[in-house]
A = this chain, B = another copy of it.
Amino acid sequence: MSTTINFGIIGAGRIGKIHAENLASRIPGATVLAIADPNIEAARELATRLHVPSAVAEADALFDDPAINAIAICSSTDTHARFIIEAAQAGKHIFCEKPIAYDLAQIDAALAAVAKAGVSLQIGFNRRFDPNFRALRQAVVSGQIGAPQILRITSRDPAPPPIEYVKVSGGMFFDMTIHDFDMARYLLGSDVEEVCVMGGVLVDPAIGEAGDVDTAVIMLRFANGALGVIDNSRKAVYGYDQRAEVFGSGGMVASANNTSFNACLSNAEGVHGPKPLYFFLERYAESFVAEMRDFVACLHNGAPTPVSGLDGRAPVLMAMAATRSLHKGRPVKLSEISEG
């Protein structure tokens, strides 16, 4: 392998731009050779700005280019599984945004193609690379809290997505909670066996009319016996609320929100500090760099990627179980889903 990993990027939208910029300027050992997007103008604009040599409309050109070692799939979710398969067949390593697909058969086909080709695959669960959550995981791994017993995740967005997006996203559990499902597995280092949901439409009736909920609490039972709870809202007026806590036999470790500064004002009304950072672009900016830096490092040194294909599959299964629990009004075991 050359001294740099040559990337082709599929998708020049919001997340595609982030990965392209990071790969172009902040990731040692990586180069971007081409950007593909059906919106060829967007691809060209991004390529020009980042001094990327090639911009194309069709992803095929990337798969066919022998100079390209790795593909970053940043296109819409419905294309992920297909592009994984094609990239794998072309022998490219793959970084793919989450979720892999909304359908287990597609996911399994994609993972099979990756396994057959022997290429590396990393799924874009960037929050694992956030320093706060890393510190929590490290406290668990190092035994500082003993045996984990209770996990709490609070995950609230500052504002709901456009209603058109709600209609096609697969629902809140697939487009928002899926990150929390991954975080749950990451923090405890254990799979989840059962989920139980209570949901409601408390933010915007239009979300309910679109068939989704905008507020939920979700209980989890882990394979290792621990219990967990996630609470979600589509709208926290004070900003992006992203906290987690792991409680165990030896103690508890908890993270708080991040702010853009820490100055506090004391006056006759009280003590006033800053709000959490607004949303994921601000809150997780560095984690997008870190996940890609690790991916590139793994390609360079042949190590397994830190977020595997199975790590991409499990949260989809959890989202399916959560959706069924919401509709049926009862706990749902993941085995119930995976067995059909």
Contacts and interface: CB of A to CB of B under 8 A. Distances in A.
A219 interface: yes
A17 to B, nearest CB: 15
Interface in A135-175: 135-136, 139, 144-147, 149-150, 152, 154, 156
A132 B229 contact: no
12 contacts: A144-B265, A196-B198, A202-B226, A216-B227, A236-B266, A237-B267, A238-B251, A253-B266, A254-B263, A254-B266, A270-B273, A272-B272
- This chain: copies in complex: 4
Nearest to A329: B331
A331 B219 CA distance: 12
Given A145-B267, A238-B271, A270-B275, A262 B132 contact: yes
A274 interface: yes
Interface string A199-226: 1101100000000000111011100011
A200 B221 CA distance: 9
Interface in A276-306: 276
A86 interface: no
A247 interface: yes
B229 A250 contact: no
